[in-house]
Amino acid sequence: MESKQVVLEEVKLGTIIIEDYNAAVLDLTHVNHSYESLELDPIDGVLGSDILADYKAVIDYDKSRLILSEL
Q: What is the mean pLDDT of the chain?
A: 94
Q: What is the pTM of this model?
A: 0.75
Q: What separation in angstroms does the CA of 34 have from each of 24, 25, 29, 30, 55? A: 21, 19, 9, 6, 30
CB 43 within 8 A of CB 33: no
Chain segment 35-68, per-residue pLDDT in tens: 999 999 999 999 999 999 999 999 999 999 999 9
Chain segment 6-41, per-residue pLDDT in tens: 999 999 999 999 999 999 999 999 999 999 999 999
pLDDT band at 1 (very low <50, low <70, confident <90, very high): confident
